[in-house]
Structure 1
Amino acid sequence: MIPNDQLERLRRLLSHRRVISANDLQYELGISRATLTRYIRHLRDTFGVPVVIDRELGGYRLESSGHDFGPQFELPGLWFTAEEIHALLTMQHLLANLDTSGLLGPHIQPLLKRLGHILGSADDSAAELARRIRIQTVGARSFKLEHFQAVASATLRRHRIVIEYHARGSNRTTRREISPQRLIHYRDNWYVDAWCHLREELRSFAVDAIHRAEVLSTTARDVDDDRLDCFLGSGYGIFSGSDVQWAVLRFSPERSRWVAAEKWHPDQQGRLLDDGGYELRVPYSQAPELLMDILRHGQHCEVIAPPGLREAVQQEHLSAARLNGA
């Protein structure tokens, strides 16, 4: 394991000088030529630091490639924020849980190795980070890797794809031709936002509900980002639409301490109440997902508006009480 302080000293020496000889680097760092070679290789291969040998000037320098790295160039992994740690570990978790026996295997393993090196360059080893920081998935549904590969390939290459899709709500399987627009990882599951040529509208499809996928040579229909965001990002949750309503929810003082710090939707509006409670306003298009999140708060959440959502919550509570013998 290469000490972090040595890597940082080497980075600074390279950043502050136009060129520096191997002898000077060995002297400054107090290391052998073989160790210097190992350090240089680690900077270059693990972190992508553009270190090159300039034989005309007789030393090592940073290859700017049109960019002025200067002394501000920093090594990833040595100054992780909490968000960066979470992002890297999430990437590692997602990759580690893919089946690497398929076509993606040769590409996933090098990525995992590189992530391990980067995480291991922080103040603790990669093994210690893995031991102390965990990414737990709740409600993640399994999917077939070949279906994910087909959807991802069609999305990136801008091709249409034919899928056999099982809609869990209606318990029906239909054959659809779709033009995929983007892949979304949401609440530990993968979805594809696409133009559905069967329904002639934008839809969001769960990748795990795809039973068969065939990429076509036909060019996909493109939908601009503003329209995608307006239709699929306007309401609450992954399943949205153009018919947006606003839910007004009132939480008890006890539960408000958690809800006030949560982000339910980018356009949400919230305010603390005089009694210590919390009022949350969120836009939604389809009720099922919002309904589930309201019900998990039980008696601590009252639906103020709209009336249809309030009635739906009441019916769910009454049905649950009857089911449990109340």
Structure 2
Amino acid sequence: MSNRERIYKIDQILNNKQHITMADFIARLEVSKATVKRDLQYMRDNLNAPIIYDRDSGIYRFESQKAGMKYELPGLWFSAEEIHALMTMQHLLAGIDSGGLLGPHIQPLLARLTGILGSKEDSMDEINKRIKVEVIGNRKFNLEHFQIIGSALLKRKRLIIDYHARSTDQTTTREISPQRLVYYKGNWYLDAWCHLKGDIRSFSVDSIKCKETLETKAEDIPDKKLDETLSEGYGIFSGSNIQWVKLKFTPERARWVASEKWHPKQKGDFLDDGSYQLSFPYSQDPELIMDIMKYGSDVKVVEPKALKEKIHKILIEAVRNY
């Protein structure tokens, strides 16, 4: 049991049992008398713990706190190793947080952790030097709109937004009930009930401009329905028309693909020749086609036939235009 764990334990013991002897402390904490006395003194000197010892009865207890004296245990206590890990994670978050969404909230915690660490060894400068995060392809986000979306989402309020659909290059004004934010392949998406369409939609956050937060309570859609509409098929914009795709990867590529997660319901098997066969559900195919084609000749679409023919046509057209 570490020092901090013992201090929390001592606090718990004194709060639950108003009178306790040194023998009780030693038995409960499984440490020496000297260690208990050192912990009690630390709590008195550094945390203003109102611990007193009654010599006549041989017991320890909390007394009423004096005016101006405040005693409370820290909300978070970290060892040096934990602080190093947290600072490293902050650096990684900063690397993928291309829109600067988390930075303003993480920096105060980072400053606090750096202060607690109190050492030049393994400082943030050293972490920055030793850890490199390269993120390619992420889009920038408008911090103002992201915060408005997040606030409306948690407060269960409706939003009036202008949404620019890149596929049609059209902007529409919609009233939506935010359901959940999703971070997917380097970008943020908002799952919401669209009152204009009367259906569930997934919106790319960087294409949203918030016009107004309404006081109207957001429509709550059950998680099961959200998952059935948005999570059953492959990709971020899935849908309800589900079918299964079966892909076959070459033995050379199989060693990588076998450890990849394409879908929560995927099924994969190594074949006798060392190739890898992967199956999973999908509905809309644009994203799936892009992900299949990036493997080039290392992948073959086994089924469905329609998807295989579609990719074949795309490849023929690409050769013509090359």
Query: Aligned partners of 2:117 and 2:94: how far apart in 1?
Result: 10
TM-score for both structures, normalised by structure 2: 0.74
**Aligned residues of 1:92 and 1:112 also touching (Cα < 8 A):** no
Q: Which residue of 1 aligns with 2:296?
A: 298
2:3 to 10, 30, 42: 10
Task: State the 1:114 CA deviation.
Answer: 4.4
Aligned to 2:81: 78
TM-score (norm 1): 0.73
Please state whether the residue corresponding to 2:158 is helix, strand or coil.
strand
User: Structure 1: which 4+ aligned runs deviate by more than 6 Å?
Assistant: 58-65, 117-121
Q: Partners of 1:75 and 1:125 in 2: how far apart? A: 15
Tell me by how many angstroms 1:311 deviates: 1.6
Map of 1:176 onto structure 2: 174
Partners of 1:195 and 1:10 lie apart in 2 by 50
Structure 2 gap segments, 5+ residues each: 15-21, 23-33, 54-59, 63-70
SS of 1:152 mapped into structure 2:
helix
| Equivalent residue in structure 2 for 1:98, among 70, 91, 100 | 100
- How many equivalent residue pairs? 284
> Aligned to 1:269, which of 267, 270, 273?
267
For the residue of structure 2 that corresponds to 1:226, the secondary structure is helix
Contact preservation (8 Å) 2:246, 2:304: yes
Q: CA deviation at 1:260?
A: 0.5
Q: 1:80: how far off?
A: 9.1
Change beyond 3 A, Cα 1:209–1:286: same
Q: Quick one: structure 1 residues 9 and 222, their matched pair in 2 at CA, closer, same or farther if it must change by over 3 Å? A: closer
Greater C-alpha Rg:
2
- Choose from 50, 63, 86 the match for 1:55: 50
* Letter aligned with residue 204 of structure 1: S
Q: Map Cα deviations across residues 240-299 of structure 1 (whole Å, 9 max, x no partner).
A: 111111110000111111100101111100000111110000111211111111011001
Instruction: Map 1:284-323 onto structure 2 (within 5 A).
Output: 284-323=282-321
Identity, % of aligned positions: 43
Tell me what 1:259 maps to. Answer: 257
SS at match of 1:54: coil
Map of 1:148 onto structure 2: 146
Q: Write the distance in 1 (CA, Å) between the matches of 2:135 and 2:225.
A: 31
Cα gap change, 1:118 to 1:278, in 2 (>3 Å):
farther
- Counting only pairs closer than 5 Å after superposition, residues 201-280 of structure 1 correspond to structure 2 as 201-280=199-278
Taking only aligned residues, the RMSD between alpha carbons, in angstroms, comes to: 3.9
Structure 1 position 192 matched with structure 2 position 185? no
Contact 2:193/2:199 (8 A) holds in 1: yes
Q: Hey, what's the Cα distance between the residues in 2 that align with 1:86 and 1:109?
A: 13
Structure 1: runs of 5+ lacking an equivalent: 1-7, 41-51, 66-72
